[in-house]
Amino acid sequence: MSHLGEWEVVIGLEIHTQLSTQSKIFSGASTKFGAEPNTQACAIDLGMPGVLPVVNKEVYRKAVTFGLGIGAEINKRSVFDRKNYFYPDLPKGYQITQLESPIVMGGHVEIVLDDGTSKVINVTRAHLEEDAGKSLHENYHNQTGIDLNRAGTPLLEIVSEPEMRSAEEAVAYARYIHQLVTYLGVSDGNMSQGSLRCDANVSIRKHGQQELGTRTETKNVNSFRFLEAAINFEVERQIGILESGGRVIQETRLYDAVKNETRSMRSKETATDYRYFPEPDLLPIVIDDAYIDAVRAEMPELPAQRAVRFVEQYQLSEVDAALLSSNLDLANYFEEVTAICGDPKPASNWIRVELLGLLNRDDIEISESPLPSAQLGKLIQRILDDTISGKIGKQVFEALWQGVARDVDDYIAHEGLKQVSDSGELEAIVDKVIADNPAQVEQFRAGKTKLMGFFVGQIMKETQGKANPKQVNALVSSRLND
């Protein structure tokens, strides 16, 4: 933004990430996304009289994994609290969360900005809590539908210090957290299904001013693009208010992606008193050093570690290694393709140039790639072992992408794309081309060696591109130089 002038932007993010557990945080009900409403809500999720929560051990293993991933202190005795408020999709009338003793305290991440500079962002805390259900307002004729499938889904709320100074930094931080939680297997990171949602606390102040300005909290932003847009909108709105002599009101706002604006949800000045108190139905989560060490021992490789390994193990350039390790699914895809075709270089090239090009063009995640790693690996293998030419390879790639081809070998066989490497067959074709073009043969022998390409082209045409180019070159040159 060019017109910030004297204003400094201050951003802190609260990121809610859904932990990828099979069952809910306090019940055995499934967390699978997309089921029929209320089919994945048991008596506990419904807040039936008499039911009690029991902590799913998997959630604190994941929280500790995340904490270790950002170099945080793991709280060996973390406590659940009740946060009280009435809402129709909050079955118990309180949310079980962690207020005073969160499981993860401190920690930091290093973000890299587009201009190549890097910056450390400190994390204040990360705590466990349960998600609420959903209120559905459409198609209910003046009534509200309640879907409690999501109620009790485990969340890790990651709270940053207010250390980001632009939407770009905020997005880089959010992307880093997204990359980290997916890498660590803490969350599936599926943003369209709400697995990662950001609340952005935004305020502005004059450069050099010590105290923070009044902030607003824009809630539930579920894409990086929206996050950037929402912050930029909010910064401009606040500048507009302050420059016209107004006062920013501390409030909760909602981002409307259709209108690209944020609007007021409720004012903090009339905010609910959540009346937090320790959850008497649950004991504190007590963990010891042995537990933390065991989690540490099972920590998956972090993105930066993987990039270093890619350079060492596969001799990739640092830029390529960084790109291919930037996303867990992509990094796995690359290693799968390499394992099949046996050569990291073409694997890297095909993925970066061909595959990512199409994925970006069509806005598809690598995890949803229409081209499975096994097929791309086999395709590259067939080029390397001279079964097909590189040019035919691109044709097969296109067919796989479009779903015309399912299996590389079947497709090559079915379409007759195998290179003609049979020397007898090729010799016959070469002889025929030489016989058919006496004028060109004359010119070639008179010294116009550039015509080599013409003969090769004619032969490729005769073989519909299937002739092995190296072999063709050798044959033509031996015949013409006789």
> Which positions lie near another protein, rule CB under 8 A?
43, 46-55, 82, 84, 86, 88, 91-94, 144, 146, 273, 275-277, 280-283
In angstroms, what is the minimal distance from the CB of 102 to another protein?
19
Q: Mapped to the 3 state alphabet, what secondary structure does the chain carry?
A: CCCCCCEEEEEEEEEEEECCCCECCCCCCECCCCCCCCCCCCCCCCCCCCCCCCCCHHHHHHHHHHHHHCCCEECCEECCEEEECCCCCCCCCEEEECCCCCCEECCEEEEECCCCCEEEEEEEEEEEEECCCEEECCCCCCCCEEECCCCCCEEEEEEECCCECCHHHHHHHHHHHHHHHHHCCCCCCCHHHCCEEEEEEEEEEECCCCCCCCCEEEEEECCHHHHHHHHHHHHHHHHHHHHCCCCCCCEEEEEECCCCEEEEEEEHHHCCCCCCEECCCCCCEECCHHHHHHHHHCCCCCHHHHHHHHHHHHCCCHHHHHHHCCCHHHHHHHHHHHHHHCCHHHHHHHHHHHHHHHHHHHCCCHHHCCCCHHHHHHHHHHHHCCCCCHHHHHHHHHHHHCCCCCCHHHHHHHHCCCCECCHHHHHHHHHHHHHHCHHHHHHHHCCCHHHHHHHHHHHHHHCCCCECHHHHHHHHHHHHCC
Q: Which is nearer to another protein, 144 or 315 (CB)?
A: 144
Task: Give 451's contacts (C-beta < 8 A, 6+ positions apart).
Answer: 440, 443, 444
In angstroms, what is the minimal distance from the CB of 96 to another protein?
10
In angstroms, what is the minimal distance from the CB of 274 to another protein?
8
Q: Which is nearer to another protein, 11 or 46 (CB)?
A: 46
Backbone φ and ψ of 240, nearest 5°: -55, -45
In angstroms, what is the minimal distance from the CB of 46 to another protein?
6
In angstroms, what is the minimal distance from the CB of 273 to another protein?
5
Q: Which is nearer to another protein, 55 or 242 (CB)?
A: 55
- Contact predicate 377/397, CB 8 Å: no
Q: Which is nearer to another protein, 37 or 469 (CB)?
A: 37
Q: Which is nearer to another protein, 78 or 375 (CB)?
A: 78
Q: Which is nearer to another protein, 36 or 273 (CB)?
A: 273
Q: Which is nearer to another protein, 135 or 349 (CB)?
A: 135
Q: Which is nearer to another protein, 278 or 469 (CB)?
A: 278
In angstroms, what is the minimal distance from the CB of 87 to another protein?
8
Backbone φ and ψ of 84, nearest 5°: -95, 125
Backbone φ and ψ of 310, nearest 5°: -60, -40
Instruction: Give the angle subtended at the CA of 362 by the CAs of 361 and 363, to the nearest 5°.
Output: 95
In angstroms, what is the minimal distance from the CB of 155 to another protein?
19
In angstroms, what is the minimal distance from the CB of 188 to another protein?
27
Q: Which is nearer to another protein, 88 or 342 (CB)?
A: 88
In angstroms, what is the minimal distance from the CB of 59 to another protein?
14
In angstroms, what is the minimal distance from the CB of 58 to another protein?
15
In angstroms, what is the minimal distance from the CB of 276 to another protein?
8
Q: Which is nearer to another protein, 54 or 319 (CB)?
A: 54
Q: Which is nearer to another protein, 80 or 334 (CB)?
A: 80
* Residue in 25, 56, 156, 58 with CA at minimum distance from that of residue 103: 156
Strand partners, 121: 109
In angstroms, what is the minimal distance from the CB of 277 to another protein?
6
Q: Which is nearer to another protein, 47 or 372 (CB)?
A: 47
Question: Rounded to whole angstroms, how far apart are CA atoms 400 and 416?
Answer: 16
